[in-house]
Structure 1
């Protein structure tokens, strides 16, 4: 049985699981595909103001020891004075699954929620009940194209340094990042994320400094709305501009 999605309520989007293939390293590369009707969009992992981030619960799956998402470069969508980050027409999100027992099939039993938006934004809930056999070895070109559309690494983009400073606020902390890297061109957007998904992070305010460094700051507010300690490796920076993105995993943090 291959990639049989549980039907969702009728909606202007169709969410399916592409079964993918078992890689030489023993991991399995599959993908979540969201096909959207004209005028609709879905969201990146950090969707911006008013967006709905995707939620995927794999806990009922079997023979799954780890899951890694390989997000393609998203679009920055500015409409009606709001900025969101996501995808129009289609999203193919590669999912790398690590089997607990190599050489055996993986059973996917997952609940999926994705946000879709036209004039208003609504959550679309669906699920997958699928078996991914170990003998699927032919790569899927649709997934391969999505993997090729990944952000650049910091090294590929010429990032020479990424540092952060921390300032306490009454309800959390403000981090200011300095990223030494060439311009991507266009209107660059910086996204700052916390490793802990319970921490709310504001939209970053970004600009190029006098010496050309990209500066950005954002507020990090935990559930108890109090100042807290955060390490540089608990922060993820993404720079988006001119159809490209750069993934920077962490920054050198000082007070």
Structure 2
């Protein structure tokens, strides 16, 4: 690939990051941009070629559930050594963005993300998938008796020694009379983080304190161990709020995690604790916790 093409990819990648992260991550963004420039430059100097078809995306048509929803899935297949990212990708990743505007007979969409892997690269945490990931997508039709015309696009990043922005269109016709579950989708559903109640979560409380440019949130969770190297991820419905990597500590069945949240205004703000999403990821399992009390 020519140096001009690599530079173009580099600029596009940086613009996408700017669109998805909050202002307080600028120092991390600068580091990532410098690192990316060094890596792409090294690839060009060595004559290393970016392989074709580093990622392939397809739709698994799935089936209608007993509740009248349609359980389909996106299947992402990656070349060896390449990875892509979870919905909350960490400071070193790129969050996927979906556009469903071309679809018909869809009222809403619910993702059932499989448990991701946590890695650290050059001091930055990334959360995502390698090789292959099947992401179940539950579609809620406006008319349960009618076919769903699925037509969408996803913008995402795939990385190896260099990172590439990808924008991939997909489409499928999903009829209402398919009731036999897809074994690939059923297997992927079993890999999703466990709901809090099923995982043995007894209590979740969040204390909030203002900091000059936002809030510091500390969650205290009564939860049996999820395995070694536990990582806690905080999410808010407002994706413009930057959320720092959480520090996680455990004492017996009590896990304590602290994260900082910074809005675009760079000032303290009102936070609805019931809307906070907390995911605890360990070596054995992951747990999905929706909301906490004050």
Structure 2 length-normalised TM: 0.80
Please say if 1:208 is aligned against 2:280. no
SS of match in other structure, 2:184:
helix
Residue 211 of structure 2: aligned partner: 169
Which one has a larger percent strand, Structure 1 or Structure 2? 1
SS at the partner of 1:45? coil
Structure 1: unaligned runs, 5 residues or longer: 1-8
Q: Which residue of 1 aligns with 2:290?
A: 249
Question: Cα offset for 1:58?
Answer: 0.8
Aligned match of 1:5: none
Structure 1 residue aligned with 2:97: 55
1:57 Cα offset (Å): 0.7
Give CA-to-partner distance per residue, 1:168-207, whole Å, 9 cap, x none.
Answer: 1121111111111111221110001112112111111111
Report the alpha carbon displacement of residue 24 of structure 1 after superposing the two structures with TM: 1.9
In the alignment, which of 92, 113, 137 is matched to residue 155 of structure 2? 113
1:227 to 258, 261, 268: 268
Kept in 1, the 8 Å contact 2:136–2:185? The answer is: yes
How far the C-alpha of 1:113 sits from its partner, in A, is 1.3
Is 2:119 aligned against 1:84?
no
Map Cα deviations across residues 121-144 of structure 1 (whole Å, 9 max, x no partner). Answer: 222111113211112222111111
Aligned to 1:39: 81
Aligned match for 1:237, one of 269, 278, 288: 278
Q: Pick one of 105, 109, 130 that aligns with 1:67.
A: 109
Aligned residues: 244
Q: Per the alignment, in what secondary structure is the counterpart of residue 46 of structure 1?
A: coil
Q: Deviations over 1:26-65 (max 9, x none)?
A: 1100001100110011111101121011111112211000
Alignment-derived partner of residue 200 in structure 2: 158
Report matched runs for 1:113-152 at 5 Å: 113-152=155-194
Normalising by structure 1, report the TM-score.
0.91
Deviation at 1:10, TM superposition (A): 4.3
Q: Which residue is 2:259 aligned to?
A: 218
Tell me if structure 2 keeps the 8 A contact 1:235–1:251: yes
Q: CA deviation at 1:82?
A: 2.6
The Cα shift of 1:212 comes to 4.8
Query: Higher mean Cα deviation, 10-19 or 238-247?
Result: 10-19
Separation in structure 1 between the aligned mates of residue 89 and residue 128 of structure 2, nearest angstrom: 6
Segments of structure 2 that go 5 or more residues without pairing to the other structure are 1-50
Contact kept in structure 1, 2:227 and 2:285, CA below 8 Å: no
Q: 1:22 aligns with which of 50, 64, 79?
A: 64
Asked if 2 retains the 8 angstrom alpha-carbon contact of 1:75 and 1:243, the reply is: no
Quick one: distance in 2 between partners of 1:224 and 1:81? 27
